[in-house]
Amino acid sequence: MTHQPRWALTGIYFIIALLVGVVLGSVVQTQFNLAALQALGVEISPGQRIATTLHDLTSFAPLYAVLFAVGFVVSQAVAVLLSGWLGGRCLALLCTGGAAVGLWATLWLVNTLAPPPTLIAATRGVVGFVAMLATAGVAGWLFAWLRKRMANAKRPRGFSGMAIVWGVGSLAAALGVGQQAEAQEVEESQAEGAYQIETLAEGLAHPWSLAFLPDGRMLVTERLGRLRLLSAEGDTLEASLGGVPEVFASGQAGLFDVRLSPRFEDDRQLYLSYACGNELANHTCLAKGTLEDNGLEDVSEIFRAQPAKQGAAHFGGRLAWLPDGTLVLTLGDGFDYREQAQQLESHIGSLVRLNPDGSVPDDNPFVNRDDARPAIYSYGHRNVQGLVFDADNNRLIAHEHGPRGGDELNVIEAGANYGWPIATGGLDYTGSRVTPFEDYPGTEPPALEWTPSIAPSGMALYSGDLFPEWQGDLLVGALVNKEVRRVRLSEDASIAEDVEGLFGELGERIRDVRQGPEGAIYLLTDSPEGRLLRVMPTHSSAISN
């Protein structure tokens, strides 16, 4: 009887062990994600658990296979070589420990280099992290046990790294790794040719927000912590106004929104939202100050989101005034803290409503509850970066980033739960399900959902006369699509229609969208050399109306 060569058996055993590690890892991460939801009181049936687990085996496992294989190839090769150097001893121990260390090193590298703080959600906690490493250890032990069986069968000795490479290639092919990304078709703007775009200012370092002063001058925040003063023509009058609070600038953290007091001409006060603290303990903060000729004076912090969090992602930071003189500030979930968006004892993942001095209004929805932060106005949000108040229809409108898909446009009601992370139409960045539910009892469905994600940013409600066909529509910046989406809400605000894409010819990430005093549209582009742009009609007759 002809035996298979040792290198072929090594490759087969390696594939078996690798597949076991990938399947176990996928199953474990799913169960930890579901357990986090159950800890919030979410009911998950056995059928939903099985369906979610199977989904993740087809959508999460291919990506995880690539990550897992990197450390597994290296660790098992090193383990076999060390065992050989030790005379064939300790193979099981070396393969088991090596596989766990290999996965740990891979996850550390990915979390260090990738934009999200923690790529695989199940590894956010110590128990989940150790459980994932344990699945790698099982795969390593299995590989050692299979090799030992082969050795006991007295087949030719030797080790072939090529077999492992071949095995990984076969696994990748089996799992469908390397599928081409779906190309997104960019919709042609119906209004193309009806406007002209001019550059007012250049060289802005990741500009984030724009505000107009009564005399026509403009304030622009730059994420690194600068508040720039521009003339009405876009010339820089002050590259960096003094008195801006100290900002934690890293990743998505930095200086965010700027809003004038509703009584600015009398009190000269403005409000700034920003990230404060450091990488290990940071918050979204709100400060107010008085604008003088060369900077801010009497600056004071009036709100700080609690508790502190780690990382530099998902701060929210948009501001909007309500007709009663209260101020709404949006907050993010910190990426790794998504379950706290459902916990009223935490500001994380909520919208807060404040008085101009930072105190809490007496009529906030949770002000009389001992188990809630009294400033919370709504909760269940992921990362809200667009906020406007529609005075004509008396409604507060917000949008928020989903993960892979599931960007939402919501009409905000006091005390309402907007679902994250219990209900979402998006998947995690790894392809795994965040939750089995796209809607869930007690949570508010979005008026509009974008899947695939457009990464919504600044938002304006257009009410000017220069573009009459856009009156009453929302203009939503889209970072991924590199355009502005025009959105129309129904009269009862129950649904919204994404009408068209605008300004896509720029090919730039749009960070903020504002309507100017004259009815023109102003855009900020997000880059190290960002621009302030003004959009005007091309027809002189439209400008004069």
Count structural domains, the chain. 2
200 shares a domain with 150: no
348 shares a domain with 236: yes
Per-residue pLDDT reduced to its tens digit, 438-458: 999 999 999 999 999 999 999
417 shares a domain with 276: yes
355 shares a domain with 246: yes
Contacts of 8 (CB under 8 A, 6+ apart): 163
186, part of any domain = no
Tokens of 218: 């403009």
Q: Give a three-class secondary structure readout of 93-138.
A: HHHHHHHHHHHHHHHHHHHHHCCCCCCCHHHHCHHHHHHHHHHHHH
Predicted pLDDT of residue 492: 87
1, part of any domain = no
Q: Could you tell me which residue, 10 or 267, shows the higher pLDDT?
A: 267
Q: Could you tell me which residue, 492 or 427, shows the higher pLDDT?
A: 427
Among 35-44, 107-116, 389-398, the least confident range: 107-116
- Residue entry with tokens 């999200």: 116
180, part of any domain = no
Residue among 257, 258, 312 at smallest CA distance from 282: 312
Predicted pLDDT of residue 493: 86
Predicted pLDDT of residue 129: 98
Q: Which of 206, 314, 347, 381 is catalytic?
A: 314
Mean pLDDT value across the chain: 92
Predicted pLDDT of residue 541: 42
User: Where among 175, 210, 229 does a domain terminate?
Assistant: 175
261 shares a domain with 139: no
**What is the span of the domain harbouring residue 277?**
196-544
CA distances from 407 to 24, 147, 426, 440, 484 (A): 31, 49, 8, 17, 15
Question: First and final CA of the chain: distance in angstroms?
Answer: 93
| Cα R_g (the chain), whole angstroms | 27
Q: Could you tell me which residue, 274 or 180, shows the higher pLDDT?
A: 274
Predicted pLDDT of residue 189: 40
Per-residue pLDDT reduced to its tens digit, 69-86: 999 999 999 999 999 999
83 shares a domain with 228: no
Helix (H, G, I), strand (E, B) or coil at 64: helix
- 314 as an active site residue: the answer is yes
